[in-house]
Amino acid sequence: MGGKQRDKDDEAYGKPVKYDPSFRGPIKNRSCTDVICCVLFLLFILGYIVVGIVAWLYGDPRQVLYPRNSTGAYCGMGENKDKPYLLYFNIFSCILSTNIISVAENGLQCPTPQVCVSSCPEAPWTVEKNQFSQTVGEVFYTKNRNFCLPGVPWNMMVITSLQQELCPSFLLPSAPALGRCFPWTNVTLPELPGITNDTTIAQGISGLIDSLNARDISVKIFEDFAHSWYWILVALGVALVLSLLFILLLRLVAGPLVLVLILGVLGVLAYGIYYCWEEYRVLRDRGASISQLGFTTNLSAYQSVQETWLAALIVLAVLEAILLLVLIFLRQRIRIAIALLKEASKAVGQMMSTMFYPLVTFVLLLICIAYWAMTALYLATSGQPQYVLWASNISSPGCEKVSINTSCNPMDQPVNSSCPGLMCVFQGYSSKGLVQRSLFNLQIYGVLGLFWTLNWVLALGQCVLAGAFASFYWAFHKPQDIPTFPLISAFIRTLRYHTGSLAFGALILTLVQIARVILEYIDHKLRGVQNPVARCIMCCFKCCLWCLEKFIKFLNRNAYIMIAIYGKNFCVSAKNAFTLLMRNIVRVVVLDKVTDLLLFFGKLLVVGGVGVLSFFFFSGRIQGLGRDFKSPHLNYYWLPIMTSIVGASVIASGFFSVFGMCVDTLFLCFLEDLERNDGSLDRPYYMSKSLLKILGKKNEAPPDNKKRKK
Give the mean pLDDT of the chain.
76
SS3 415: coil
SS3 340: helix
pLDDT of residue 171: 83
Neighbouring CB atoms inside 10 A of 253's CB total 14
Highest mean pLDDT among 348-362, 398-412, 630-644: 348-362
Neighbouring CB atoms inside 10 A of 64's CB total 13
Closest by Cα among 449, 407, 453, 413 to 430: 407
Among 46-55, 201-210, 213-222, 389-398, which stretch is predicted with the lowest mean pLDDT?
201-210
pLDDT of residue 241: 84
Answer for the pair 584, 9: CB distance below 8 angstroms, yes or no: no
Peptide bond before residue 479 is cis, with ω within 30 degrees of 0: yes
- Residue-wise pLDDT for 439-450, tens only, equals 778 888 999 999
SS3 74: strand
Q: Beta strands 85-88 and 114-117: pairing type?
A: antiparallel
pLDDT of residue 626: 54
Highest mean pLDDT among 12-21, 85-94, 349-358: 349-358
Closest by Cα among 166, 199, 180 to 74: 180
Highest mean pLDDT among 106-115, 264-273, 497-506, 628-637: 497-506
Long-range CB contacts for residues 172-176, cutoff 8 Å, separation at least 24: 172/91, 172/121, 172/124, 173/121, 173/122, 173/123, 173/124, 174/87, 174/120, 174/121, 175/120, 175/213, 175/215, 175/216, 176/84, 176/85, 176/120, 176/215
Q: Is the pLDDT of residue 100 over 60?
A: no
- Residue-wise pLDDT for 149-181, tens only, equals 877 888 888 888 887 777 888 888 887 876 778
Answer for the pair 422, 165: CB distance below 8 angstroms, yes or no: no
Of the chain, the percentage scoring pLDDT greater than 70 comes to 73
pLDDT of residue 544: 92
Highest mean pLDDT among 46-50, 402-406, 657-661: 46-50
Closest by Cα among 414, 421, 432, 426 to 387: 426
- Residue-wise pLDDT for 642-681, tens only, equals 888 888 887 888 788 888 888 888 888 888 888 887 777 7
651 compared with 227, residue with greater pLDDT: 651
The pLDDT-based confidence of 200 (bands split at 50, 70, 90) is: very low
Task: Report residue 652: phi and psi, to 5°.
Answer: -65, -40
- Residue-wise pLDDT for 528-559, tens only, equals 666 777 788 888 888 999 999 999 999 999 99
The pLDDT-based confidence of 45 (bands split at 50, 70, 90) is: very high
Q: Whole-model pTM?
A: 0.72
pLDDT of residue 40: 95
- Report helix angle 585-618 to 331-350, nearest 10: 60
Answer for the pair 512, 504: CB distance below 8 angstroms, yes or no: no
pLDDT of residue 102: 40
Among 249-263, 272-286, 297-311, 478-492, which stretch is predicted with the lowest mean pLDDT?
297-311
Q: Is the pLDDT of residue 433 over 60?
A: no
Query: Is residue 213 packed enough to be buried (19+ CB in 10 Å), middle (13-18) or exposed (0-12)?
Result: buried
Q: Is the pLDDT of residue 196 over 70?
A: no
Q: Is the pLDDT of residue 1 over 50?
A: no
Compute the average pLDDT of residues 105-114.
Answer: 58
CA distance linking residue 440 with residue 496, whole number of Å: 35
Closest by Cα among 280, 284, 279, 273 to 313: 273
SS3 107: coil
Task: Report residue 114: phi and psi, to 5°.
Answer: -135, 140
DSSP 8-class letter at 705: -
pLDDT of residue 204: 44
SS3 418: coil
690 compared with 87, residue with greater pLDDT: 87
Q: Is the pLDDT of residue 459 over 90?
A: yes
For 558, 675, 691, the CA distances from 688, given in Å and listed in that order, are 22, 16, 5
Among 302-306, 364-368, 503-507, which stretch is predicted with the lowest mean pLDDT?
302-306
What is the H or E stretch that residue 538 is in? helix 532-566
Q: Is the pLDDT of residue 230 over 70?
A: yes
480 compared with 493, residue with greater pLDDT: 493
pLDDT of residue 659: 83
CA distance linking residue 164 with residue 415, whole number of Å: 7
Asked whether the CA dihedral 38, 40, 42, 45 is positive or negative, the reply is: negative
